[in-house]
Amino acid sequence: MAQPSETIFNLGSSHISASKFSLQSGKLSLESFELIDLPIVSGGEQDWLDAVEGAINELASLPGFKCDASFILPSSIVLSKTLRVPKVESEKQRKVVAFELSQKMPFPLETLLWDFLVIEDDGIEQEILSFAIKPDVIEKLTQSIFSSGIVPVRFTPGPALDYCSLKESLKTQDSDSLLINFGAKSTNLTFFSSSGYLLRSLNFGGGHLTESIASSFGVNQEKAEDLKKNFTNEKRDADPTDNAVSMLHAIQENFLNKYMQEISRSIVTYKRLKKGKTPSQLIVTGRTIKSANLLQSLAQSQMKPIKYFDPFTQIIVSDTINESDRSILPFIFSESLGLANLLILEPKVTALNLIPTAKLKQLENKKKLPWLLASAFLMSLIPLPWYLTLSGTERKLNEEAVNLKRQTVEETEKLNLSKKENANLELIKSINKTAGSHINQLEILSKKVFSIQDFLNSLQLKLDEEINQNTWIDRFEFLPPRRQITAPLAKREEQNALSVLARVSGRYLVKPEIQLYDLPEDDRKLALIEESGRIQESLTKAVSDIGQVVNVSKKTFSIEGKGDLYNRQFTHFEFDLELDLLR
């Protein structure tokens, strides 16, 4: 049995990482890892999307990453809300959450893509953590990712995953803990307790210090980032009398004070909600914590022990991953590890997903498009052998007709000669009658050949122009004539000469104009049946209107068995046609 594996892309504000996980002896194994830093942009959402597209294309060119993958979204592009709702039945839960959420979102809920999870349940009320995002962001991300050869199957908000990365290791602890994920544009605080967890997202991160330096010194973002790194890590002992150094000191002090105030305010809020309980330890992650001043200020303001996030206790790291990448994992790996825990170790727990079900089906169909095109090409070649056979038959018949006409002329000349030489005229009449009968039969056959070609062309034209481009023929065959035993022999021979039975079978796709993914199952089936019935009527009329069709003696439409209307959305059809090839 194949071991489960997952490919996860973490779309951060300042970097993108790609990780491939598998399961070895009941433990997660990190098989490969790649990291790309995004360029520092001062623009908004579109600039970040453009930078992500370039990084995704670069990662897709590496071996093993063109596959179905899950993507983690940064908190800077999603809206998050925490709600308290009464506990209700599961089938009513989404409606209750939707009502409460619509009161708190800054945009109409119907214009957003959203999902939620329960983070605490006391039996009477539930603590709900919800996330929403604008549909155009998901659409742009999906298009750029799919065009690179990667198929996105999941978009999960990053703030919801820090809890999953540490809940097993903290399950045995009696005291509460706080995991702080210091990001470039936002900071996520995840409070762990025995009854669940609580999430607070701050729209404040290391990038704000860069923006302050850029604004104060009048330099671009790249230069400001270099000044920040040099000052906070390498040149902290610079001459304090230098005006630039003094200004940097003031900017950093103001930034850290505001940062610590926001964190303290969140801890006070948690203390009030938990009736006096506060976290006994702080666990930190994020590349911003590489600044010693930040951790020093955090320790002074909170007076609690601080630990670094350690992913190595939960995963096996492949030997193919170099030391440089290993060293960065404690700072950027919590969200990727949390999603891997959900998907591989807890498959029964449904991870949040902000990509619509209809979009997933559309991407799945796009994956099949090359195969469908190849199948359509092969189907288009099916009539070719018939056409070549009929063309060859027609050519032979024409040659025989010419020969017979020549023979007729010769026989006529002989007849004229015989009239003079032979008095037995009845014999000559018999010969002429036989020759004329052969010629008539050949002319009838020749007309049938042309009529068959015209029928096939008419059938193809009807399907292409009057029905839709999603109808195709699987099989076409001629059937033995139905003999009417009670009819006189001469009448039966006349009927057999004039009519031909043919059977046409195939399938057509059913694509209602309405959106099916948001309909209840019964309404969805009804919509499919109605649309299939409409196509059925159009198809029957189109076939009946073909000039050579005398009668549709039998028609069969199958939505199950040979067809699969409710799942794959196609209906199988079969017509028995009575053709008059002399029309």
The answer for residues whose C-beta is within 8 angstroms of residue 134's C-beta and 6 or more apart is 107, 111, 112, 113
Q: Among 3.90.550, 1.10.287, 1.10.3470, 3.30.70, what is the CATH number of 468-583?
A: 3.30.70
Q: Are 432 and 411 in contact (CB under 8 A)?
A: yes
Q: Using 50, 70 and 90 to split pLDDT, how confident is the model at 488?
A: low
pTM of the model: 0.62
**What is the model's pLDDT at position 465?**
59
Q: Are 542 and 466 in contact (CB under 8 A)?
A: yes
Write down the pLDDT at residue 241. Answer: 57
**Amino acid identity, residue 10?**
N
Question: What is the mean predicted confidence (pLDDT) over 280-285?
Answer: 90
Average pLDDT over residues 82-89: 89
Residue 213: enclosing H or E segment and its boundaries? helix 206-217
Domain spanning 173-309 has what CATH number? 3.30.420.40
Tell me what pLDDT residue 485 has: 45
> Which residues does 18 contact at the CB level (< 8 Å), separation at least 6?
7, 8, 9, 10, 32, 33, 34, 35, 59, 62, 65
pLDDT at 524 over 90: no
- Residue type (1 letter), 95: K
Where residue 539 falls among pLDDT bands split at 50, 70, 90?
Answer: confident
Q: Closest by alpha carbon to 67, among 148, 158, 157?
A: 148
Residue located via tokens 């839960």: 93
Confidence band, pLDDT 50/70/90 cuts, at residue 138: very high
pLDDT tens-digit map of 413-440: 888 887 777 656 666 677 778 888 877 7
Residues 6+ apart with CB under 8 A from 557: 532, 536, 563, 571, 572, 573, 574
- Tell me how far apart the alpha carbons of residues 80 and 200 are, in angstroms, rounded to a whole number: 9
Asked if 395 and 386 count as a contact pair (C-beta separation under 8 A), the reply is no
Reduced to 3 states (helix: H, G, I; strand: E, B; else coil), residue 478 is strand
Nearest C-alpha neighbor of 517 from the set 532, 529, 527:
527
Give 470: exposed, middle or buried? Use CB within 10 Å, 0-12, 13-18, 19+.
middle
CA angle 78, 266, 97 (to 5 degrees): 45
CB atoms under 10 Å from CB of 484, counted, come to: 11
Which residues does 371 contact at the CB level (< 8 Å), separation at least 6? Answer: none
Q: Are 542 and 561 in contact (CB under 8 A)?
A: no
* Rounded alpha-carbon distances, angstroms, from residue 83 to 100, 129, 163, 392: 7, 7, 18, 77
**Integer Cα distance of 133 and 122 in angstroms:** 29
The fold of the 1-160+313-376 domain, in CATH, is: Nucleotidyltransferase; domain 5 (3.30.420)
pLDDT tens digits for 500-516?
Answer: 888 999 998 888 777 77
Strand duo 499-509 + 471-479: pairing? antiparallel
Within 349-424, where are the H helices?
Answer: 357-380, 383-421
